[in-house]
Amino acid sequence: MYTARIDERIGIGGFRAPLWIAALALLVSRRPDAIAKAQFWAEDGSVFFADAWNRGALQSLALSYAGSFHALQRGVAALALLVPLRFAPLLCNAIALGIQLGTASFLASGRLAQAVPQPRVRLGLAFLYLALPNTSEIHGNLTNSQWHLMLLACLVLLAGPARSRRARGADLGIVGLAAFTGPFCVPLLAVAALRFGMTRAARLRAPLLLLGAGAAAQVALLLGRGIDRGEMPLAATPRLLAEIVGGHVFVAGLVGRQGLAWLEAHAGGVALLLWIAFALGGALFAFALLRGPVELRLLAFFAALVGAMALAVPTASWPLLRPANAANRYWFAALLAFQASLVFALGPRHPRALRLAAASALLLLPIGIALDWQHPRYRDLRFRWHARRLERAPAGAEVAIPLNPGGAWVMRLHKR
């Protein structure tokens, strides 16, 4: 039987070769068209690749978008210029899936043995990460691969020390990339600072410096740009807080986005269910924060910070964030922390009532995994045909290429 192992050569090891193949098959099976009919998704093409193509790779690396720097997306888009245009989406999607595979492998690795000593439990957590319900928005696309990078960087901060120079270099590379990819460097900096305060480990000094530099750059950029929601009010209320978090994290985390949508459409008194889920899930989070191993406490703290940021500076008002199909990317860290807290609550030293409640909740999880396994497929917008259009266009011409989701996004490339 294959079990998790440490692979210090790359720093994020944890799978033997057959498990890597199985994990890749799981990821591809959730949205086969990410590989079989690869297309750009939203900002993948309309922003990151278009900027690299039209302005040049080096110039595009310094550009910001939506109030943040995005080193990961900009770097991959620049790399995609090296392949024929028809293969560029495939390269971007493959790298996005690779980041997900690396995160799963890190979860299974011995680097987290202090928090989760049993290899089989770590392997189970890696599977839960790969099969997590309510994650269709962040699966297999470059734009939202920053959420997986965010989690991987957090795990690096929580893990035991790397034992080789190459592994330490990989750790710094992951943290440094995360520091300049989106606004998540701010909660990551908080986690790193707490971790350093608890351990005084010299290995955390370089990550602290990287995250501090990234946070300073990202916050300065955001303050200089300003927070712009147009004329849309935030409309925040305690009731909506309970319904948003209770629905997206504690209900959809067990029965999936599809299950939550069904409950919203067919179940009477669904608001009461969401409030109950919020109260029970919040109590579980509080238990994990008070009684869990330090790594679980910091993961729950990190998830809470990311969720608070999403609610404080959203792209939409709170009423628009409540439905099951709204912005599930904001709750990714909280979903994983919730699953980890449920697994922790199964521990034999915990009260019997808590263990029974956690086991009962986890019995619902196969429903969510099954309902949300197959992510909605993208429309076939004939990307390769549009790539040939650009090849045949005269020099200087602009070619508009429709993008998913739904053909609502457009990538505009100038023929060179």
Q: What is the pLDDT of residue 231?
A: 56
Instruction: Classify 413 as helix, strand or coil.
Output: strand
- The answer to whether 92 and 143 are in contact (CB under 8 A) is no
Q: How many CA atoms lie within 13 A of 208 on its CB side?
A: 14
Instruction: Read off the amino acid at residue 59.
Output: Q
Q: Please state, as a whole number, how many other Cβ atoms lie within 10 Å of the Cβ of residue 174.
A: 23
User: Tens of pLDDT along the chain (416 residues)?
Assistant: 333 343 433 345 677 788 888 999 999 999 999 999 999 999 999 999 999 999 999 999 999 998 899 999 999 999 999 999 999 999 999 999 999 999 999 999 999 999 999 999 999 999 999 999 999 999 999 999 999 999 999 999 999 998 889 999 999 999 999 999 999 999 999 999 999 999 999 999 999 999 999 999 988 887 776 555 455 678 889 999 999 999 999 999 999 999 999 999 887 778 899 999 999 999 999 999 899 999 999 999 999 999 999 888 766 788 888 888 888 899 999 999 999 999 999 999 899 999 999 999 999 999 999 999 999 888 999 999 999 999 999 999 999 999 999 888 999 999 98
Q: How far apart are CA 320 and CA 77, in angstroms?
A: 31
What does DSSP assign to residue 148?
H
Q: How far apart are CA 205 and CA 402, in angstroms?
A: 45
Hey, where are the domains in the chain? 14-226+379-416, 235-375
- The answer to whether 109 and 5 are in contact (CB under 8 A) is yes
**In the beta sheet, which residues pair with residue 305?**
none
Using a 10 angstrom Cβ sphere, with 0-12 exposed, 13-18 middle and 19 or more buried, the burial of residue 254 is buried
- Here the tokens at position 387 are 């790539």
Q: How far apart are CA 404 and CA 41, in angstroms?
A: 5
